[in-house]
Structure 1
Amino acid sequence: MTPKAKKLTQADMPEADFAFYGLVWAGTTLTERVDRALTKAHDLPVSWFEVMLWLATSPEPVPASVLGNSTMLSRSQVSRVVDALQGRGLVARTPSARDARSVEVSLTEEGRRVFAEADATRREALAPVFTDLLDAQDLAALGAVWRKLKAVKGKVAAP
């Protein structure tokens, strides 16, 4: 008779391992949930939404290179996403006023409208599994953790 496999619990792992697993699990689970909701409602993958989010929060057009450094996408992925968004009329590329060799990207009016609708969908998808469960103190703690982890990006050599 094969023994029944037991589920690992927090007590079975060192605290740092459990915390890391939790970050990975939460990121994957929440991203998949948002991706499904955005794709179903707006035909907008979460990677496209991420680029639109950065553009929507910027008061002026964003250099394409800055999008590559800001998002969790590679520069080539950002380029493909911007191409797709431009093909749908959601973003515009314009020559940079500061650097003739580069282009800047901004949301079009249609892009702003689609982003607002998609952002409402994202919030609705996250509410029952994230924002409705966490209070202001929880969110502030997560923000503090994220800022600490992000602060060392590029300062610590990859293994």
Structure 2
Amino acid sequence: MFHMNRIFRHSHLTPYEADYAQWCAEQGALLREGRLSDLDRENLAEEIESLGRSDKREIESRLKVLLVHLLKLQFQAKQVKEGWRSTVVEQRRRIRKLIKESPSLRSYPMQVLAEEYEYARSDAAGETGLPARVFPENCPYDIDDILDLDFYPQAVGSAGGQSDLA
């Protein structure tokens, strides 16, 4: 029989493909009990490696959303929606938290910036109805500004300095 934190020696272990949640619980219990020879090492190793990939995917996703909203704030300033700024702040906070939890990912936003900007540019065009050519071909913001809690781009058409958005 299986209990959340204990697996009895004679129980049948659930295959990875049969029931993922049950398999995870069993693998955790085996680790806690020190039953290393009973572990599904190959699938367990893949799952552990995928955890790092999921953090990277989350940074990519949040960076793209952040870039879309910065572009909308800059190029559609007259139609700013109330939630755009809060979305910018939320994405920045979540990216910072991921990096704080995994400092080895500190340079990752910079590594994927060009690719995520390309997606963001396309999404911003779709969301605003503006042609893609309105948005710069290359990211107009550096990564430090993008992640800076106080940075907001100057609205297009406004006089020099920070826009009214800051």
The higher radius of gyration belongs to 2
TM-score range, shorter chain: under 0.3
TM-score between the two structures when normalised by the length of structure 2: 0.24
The alignment's TM-score, normalised by the length of structure 1, stands at 0.25
Higher share in strand = 1
